[in-house]
Structure 1
Amino acid sequence: MREKPVRFDALDSWRGIAALLVALFHFQAAGYFYAVPFVRNGNLAVPFFFVLSGFVITHAYRASLDGPQEGLRFMIRRFGRLYPLHIVTLGILILLETAKLYLSSHGYHGSEAPFAGTNDVPSLVANMFLLQAIIPFPELTWNAPSWSISTEFYTYLIFVAVVLGFGTYRQWGAVIMFAASGLLLFWLDDIQTTLNLASGLGLVQCVFGFFTGNLTYDLYLRLRDKPYLTGTAPELVATTIMVLLFWFKPRYVAADIIAFGVAILLFSFERGQISRLLRVRPLLLLGTLSYSIYLVHFIVFTILFAAVRIAQGRLGVDLIRFDGLHDRLDFGPAGLMDLVALAYIGVVLMFATITYRFVEEPGRRFFNRVSSGLTTGRGASPSII
C-alpha cells in the first residue's frame, strides 16, 4: 500500500537555502562574502540535493513503481521536471555565445573564443541530451551547474531498474547500490582521483547520494513515531551537522553524504521549533524556486561578468582580477562588492520567479499530462513533486 502523500516543508526550505549557497559559491567577487566558509564550501549543497532527491522521490514514487508502464510514466514526469528549464537556460547561453561571436567580429574579445573551450559544439550536443556528466569531459561545460541534472536523470533510470528488477526485494537492491557506490566513492576520495564531476565522479556522487536518501526514507518510516526523535533537540543536532559540514567541508564527500542523510532524517519529522521557523512563507517560496535558482544563477553571473569585461576594455581599468584560482570581480571596497553580491541574488530571485512561472511549472504540468495519458493507474501526488 502506498504511503500517504506528505509535503516535507522544512526540507524544502533547506533546499532553497542550499540553492542560494550554490548561487553565492559561483559569484566570484572580492567581498566579505567571498571568504566566508559557508559560501566557499557552497558546492556541498549539491550532494545535499542528491540525498534529498532520493528521500523525496522514494516517498513519492517507489510504492507505485510496479511495472514497466509505471516506470515509463515516472521517467516522463522526471524528464518534465528537469528538461524544460534546462533546455531554455541552455538556449539562452547559445544566444549569448552567438552574441559573443558577433562582438568578436567587431573587436570585443572575451576570455574564450565563441563556441570553444567549455562552450564548444561537442559539449553542446551532450548538454542537449543530458549527457554532459555521463560522457566524460575534461571540465564542466555550458551551464556548469547542470552537470548534476545530467547525473540525476540517469540515476532515476537506475532507481527504476532497481525497483522493478528486485521487485519485492527492492530495499535490498537499494542497499546493494548504496554499498557499491559508497565504497567506490570512498575509494575515489581516498586516492584523490583525477576524475572530475564531468568525467564520472559526479555520477558516482549522485548515485550514492540518491540511494542514501532512499534508505534514509526507510529509516523515516521506521522511526517517525519515536518521540525522542521528533522534537527541537534532534533538529538542533541536525542543524549543527549542517553548519559543521558547510564550515569545515570534510575531505570525504561520501562522509558528507552520510551526514546529510542523518540531518535530513532528523528534519523529516518536522515537529520542532526549527521546522516551524523553516515553514515561514519566504523560506517556503525559496524552496519552491530552488530549481530555477540553481539553473538561472549561472546565466545571471555569466551576463554580469561579460558586461564587466566589456566595461573593463572600454575604460582601461582593471575591474576583474585573478586571485590565483579564479577571475573575480574587484572594483571597489569589500563592502561594495557585498552589495553587488546582494544585488546579484536579487536579480537571480527575480529571474527564477519568471522561469518558474513561465517555464518550469508549465513544462512540469505538460509532461505530467503526457504521463497521465498513458494509463489511468496510480501516480505520484503533485503536492510532493
Structure 2
Amino acid sequence: MQDSRPELRALTGLRGLAAIAVALAHFQNTIPGYSGTPFMWHNAVDLFFCLSGFTLSYVYNPEMFRFSTYLTARVARIYPLYLVCLIAAGALYVWPVVINPISYPIRTAVSDFTLQLAMLNAWPVIGSGVHWDTPAWSLSIEWFCYLLLFPILLFQKALPSTSTRLLCIVVATSASFFLFAFFYDDRLVTPQLHVAKSPWSDWIALARGALGFTAGWAAFASFQKRDGLYVASTKFATLIWCGIAFVVVLAYCGLANSHALIVVYPFVVLAATDPTSITSRLLGSKPLHFLGVISYSIYMTHFVIFLGAVALFGEPAAWPLAVYVMLAAATAVVPVGTYFAIEMPARNALRGIQFRHVPI
C-alpha cells in the first residue's frame, strides 16, 4: 500500500524539465553543424533515477507495503506506453531499415525484441543493451530498481545521521560519474552487433540507475528527518540552480564534464521539496507542472516522432527549417494525446483489474 501524502508539485515540474532536456538533446544532435553539442547530454536521465528513488520512498510506507499492489501500479504506470513505442520504433525504423544479415541479423533482432518486451535488455549478462526506442533503456533499468532494489531499500533502517546520509549521496553520485566518464560506450545502444570497449561498459546503465536511485532514497531520508542537508538545500535553492547553470556554461565551453551535474541532483530534489522558494513555485507552476504530468509521454514518444520524421522526410541533413518546426509541434502535441489516450486509460484499466481481485 502507499501513503496518501500530498503531491510535491515542484518535483513533478522538475520531471517535466528533465524530459524536455532529453528530447532537446536528441533533437539537437540531428541539426547539421551541432552534432555532439551538449544540451544536458546524458545526465538528465540520471535526474530521473534520483527522482524515482526519492518519490517512491515518499509514496510507499513499509508498514503498509504490499508487493503485488506496488508492482501492479508500476506496470500500469510504465508498460502500456512502453509497449506501444517499442512496436512503433520497430515498425518505423528497425525492421524496414536496420535488419541486415551482417550488422544486425534477424535472429539478433528477434532476441532483442523479446528481451525488450520483458524490459530486460539493459540488464547485464542477459541483455544486449539495445533499445529500438532509444530512451527506453532507462525503463529497463527502472524495472530492475522496481523489482529488486526499491523493496530492499524500503525496509532498510534509515541512515542514522546527517553525515552518513551525505556520505551515501556523495559516494553514490561520484561512483556513477566515475563509471560513466571512463567506461560509457554509446555504441552499445545502437541496433547492431558490437564488441564493448571495456568489460565494464555493459554494467554502466545498471550502475547509473542503481546509484542514482539510491542517492534519491538517501535524499528522502534527509527530507524525512529535516536534517542539515535538507535545511541547507532548501535555504540555498537559488544558489544551487545558479551553480547548475554555471556548470552548463563551462561544459559548453569545454571546461567541465557535464555529467558532473549528477553530483548536485539529490540536492536539487531536496531544494524542490520546499514549496515556498522561488524555484519551487516556478517548478510547481501550472505550465511546468503539466509538463511533469505528461513527462513520461514526452520521454517515450519524442524519439518515435523523430523516427517518423525520418521516414517521411529522409535524413536530417537535408531537412529544411519547416521540418524542424513540424517536429517541435508534434513533440508538443503527441505526448498530450498519448497521455490521455494511452497512459491514463491503460493505467486505470490495469489498476481496476487488480482492485476487483482484492479480497474484502
Q: Is the structural similarity TM-score above 0.5? A: yes
Separation in structure 1 between the aligned mates of residue 23 and residue 244 of structure 2, nearest angstrom? 18
> Is the aligned partner of 1:10 residue 2:10?
yes
Deviation of 1:284 after TM superposition, in Å, equals: 1.4
- After TM superposition, the structure 1 = structure 2 runs for residues 230-269 of structure 1, keeping only pairs within 5 Å, are 234-248=236-250, 251=257, 253=259, 256-269=261-274
Separation in structure 2 between the aligned mates of residue 183 and residue 20 of structure 1, nearest angstrom? 25
Structure 2 CA distance for partners of 1:188 and 1:280, relative to 1, 3 Å: closer
Separation in structure 2 between the aligned mates of residue 257 and residue 230 of structure 1, nearest angstrom? 15
- After TM superposition, the structure 1 = structure 2 runs for residues 147-158 of structure 1, keeping only pairs within 5 Å, are 147-158=137-148
In structure 2, what is the equivalent of residue 92 of structure 1?
A: 88
In structure 1, what is the equivalent of residue 99 of structure 2?
A: 113
Structure 2 CA distance for partners of 1:305 and 1:364, relative to 1, 3 Å: same
Structure 2 CA distance for partners of 1:366 and 1:260, relative to 1, 3 Å: same
Normalising by structure 2, we get a TM-score of 0.78
Contact 1:89 1:143 (8 Å CA) reproduced = yes
In structure 2, what is the equivalent of residue 131 of structure 1?
A: 120
Contact 1:97 1:114 (8 Å CA) reproduced = no
Residue 131 of structure 2 aligns to a residue whose secondary structure is coil
Separation in structure 1 between the aligned mates of residue 5 and residue 72 of structure 2, nearest angstrom? 20
Contact 1:155 1:206 (8 Å CA) reproduced = yes
Contact 2:53 2:212 (8 Å CA) reproduced = yes
Deviation of 1:35 after TM superposition, in Å, equals: 7.3
In structure 2, what is the equivalent of residue 49 of structure 1?
A: 48
Separation in structure 2 between the aligned mates of residue 169 and residue 240 of structure 1, nearest angstrom? 34
Deviates more, 1:218-227 or 1:353-362: 218-227
Separation in structure 2 between the aligned mates of residue 270 and residue 31 of structure 1, nearest angstrom? 41
In structure 2, what is the equivalent of residue 215 of structure 1?
A: 218
> Is the aligned partner of 1:200 residue 2:206?
no
- After TM superposition, the structure 1 = structure 2 runs for residues 254-333 of structure 1, keeping only pairs within 5 Å, are 256-309=261-314, 320=315, 328-332=316-320
Separation in structure 2 between the aligned mates of residue 266 and residue 118 of structure 1, nearest angstrom? 48
In structure 2, what is the equivalent of residue 142 of structure 1?
A: 132
Structure 2 CA distance for partners of 1:262 and 1:362, relative to 1, 3 Å: same
Contact 2:128 2:188 (8 Å CA) reproduced = no
Deviates more, 1:71-80 or 1:286-295: 71-80
> Is the aligned partner of 1:345 residue 2:328?
yes
> Is the aligned partner of 1:83 residue 2:79?
yes
- After TM superposition, the structure 1 = structure 2 runs for residues 153-164 of structure 1, keeping only pairs within 5 Å, are 153-163=143-153
Deviation of 1:230 after TM superposition, in Å, equals: 8.3
Structure 2 CA distance for partners of 1:204 and 1:272, relative to 1, 3 Å: same
Contact 2:306 2:327 (8 Å CA) reproduced = yes
Separation in structure 1 between the aligned mates of residue 16 and residue 74 of structure 2, nearest angstrom? 19
Separation in structure 1 between the aligned mates of residue 266 and residue 233 of structure 2, nearest angstrom? 16
1:110-158 deviations in whole A, cap 9, x for unaligned? 4x33797399221111110001201555553211110000000111122
Normalising by structure 1, we get a TM-score of 0.74
Structure 2 CA distance for partners of 1:220 and 1:355, relative to 1, 3 Å: same
1:265-286 deviations in whole A, cap 9, x for unaligned? 1111121122222232221111
- After TM superposition, the structure 1 = structure 2 runs for residues 349-364 of structure 1, keeping only pairs within 5 Å, are 349-364=332-347
In structure 2, what is the equivalent of residue 24 of structure 1?
A: 24
Amino acid at match of 1:219: S
Gaps of 5+ in 1: 102-109, 310-319, 321-327, 378-385
Structure 2 CA distance for partners of 1:77 and 1:2, relative to 1, 3 Å: closer
Deviation of 1:187 after TM superposition, in Å, equals: 5.5
Structure 2 CA distance for partners of 1:186 and 1:257, relative to 1, 3 Å: closer
Deviation of 1:353 after TM superposition, in Å, equals: 0.9
Separation in structure 2 between the aligned mates of residue 210 and residue 124 of structure 1, nearest angstrom? 26
Contact 1:133 1:151 (8 Å CA) reproduced = yes
Amino acid at match of 2:99: A
Residue 157 of structure 2 aligns to a residue whose secondary structure is helix
Structure 2 CA distance for partners of 1:54 and 1:155, relative to 1, 3 Å: same
**Percent identical across equivalent pairs?**
23
Residue 303 of structure 1 aligns to a residue whose secondary structure is helix
The number of residue pairs the alignment matches comes to 335
Separation in structure 2 between the aligned mates of residue 227 and residue 219 of structure 1, nearest angstrom? 6
| CA-atom RMSD in angstroms | 3.7
